[in-house]
Structures are given as C-alpha cells and as structure tokens.
Chain A
Amino acid sequence: QVQLQESGPGLVNPSETLSLTCTVSSGSISTYYWSWIRQPPGKGLEWIGYINYSGNTNYNPSLKSRVTISLDTSKKQFSLKLSSVTAADTAVYYCARLNWNAFRKFDYWGQGTLVTVSS
C-alpha cells in the first residue's frame, strides 16, 4: 500500500518561502507523477503542480511564477517551494500520486498539513 506523508513548518512569515516535503513509502517513485494540491480554509481544492519521474514539471499558471517542485528519488521524496507567500496561501497542503496512465487520477494522497501564513 502506497503511503504519502507531508512534512514541514506549520507557520510561515508573510513574504517568505513555504517549503514542504512529501515522503513516499512503498512502491516506486520512479515511474509515476507526483503532485501538490491545496485547500484554503472553507474553500475548494486547487491543483498546484506536478513533477514526473524524469524531473519534468508542470505548474498551475496562477502560481507558476512562485512555485518550484523537485524530486529526490534516492530519498523517495518530492518537495514544494512557494515563494513570497501571503495570507491567501494559508491552506491545507496535500501531496498526491498522479497516475498519468489511468485517466490522470490522484490515486494516493497524504493526509495533508496545515500551513498558516502569519507574522
């Protein structure tokens, strides 16, 4: 059973960079796509972006200028960096596996981690 676990600071100062890591246990990290999704309090889900096993990335155009997703296959981890954060970036952040060959479904998710942007 594939499991994903997000980790990182729960509080980030405005204008700084939010950094999160997702650790994948069980299964290969080298044959799938890996994604970040977020949900602001009381709002819907927003896809942030993905990285594939070759290191190719694709980002939500609304966040593209501030987002970087990277992959470390040796540690079975992928990471999210979101720069110049504001209160609008306060959200529960989820990592998920994107199964590109099965109608691009997010078939495994982490439980999510709340990140609050505040001084």
Chain B
Amino acid sequence: DVQMTQSPSYLAASPGESVSISCKASKSISNNLAWYQEKPGKANKLLIHSGSTLQSGTPSRFSGSGSGTDFTLTIRSLESEDFAVYYCQQYNEYPWTFGGGTKLELK
C-alpha cells in the first residue's frame, strides 16, 4: 500500500498568516492527490484534486503543489474559517490511502 505521511500533525497560526502542510507518498503517485478539509459538525470538503486543481468553490487562498512523492497544501492569509483538520489522499493505486491529518489551530 502507498503510505501517506503528513507533517506537521499540529500547526498553530494566526489569522492573516500563511501556512504550508506537507504530504509525502511512499512511492510516486504522479499528481493523483487530493486535499480535504474536516470541520466539526460538517461534512468533509474536497479542496483540491490532481495535486493542484482547486475544486469549484474552494477559495483562491488555497493552493496545492507537487508531483511524484512530495506535495504541499498552502493557505495564504488565513481566515477564521480555515482552522480545521486537513487530509491528503492518494488515488493513484488501490487501496486509496489518506495521510494522518494536520490539525490547524488558532494561535
């Protein structure tokens, strides 16, 4: 199975700051990577697919980059609604696997 390793596990930041979350695959997954946002009491939200393509409705302050084994989710100018847990997922091969998550907390 492709192991997905996210770092950091926890990240504290303030509104207006920019943050980056790393996701590393144990083998090349081309650009077959998605990012999701998890918030309490809400359904998980697809933010980005194909490594860097914003899903319709995702604010432009979110961006994704990378290919192969190394990927990054960047959020510029954090807003209060961005404090959540973020997961990456590879869909290059079965079984599809997720990273362990990064909790973005308010500093």
Whether chain B is bound by chain A comes out as no
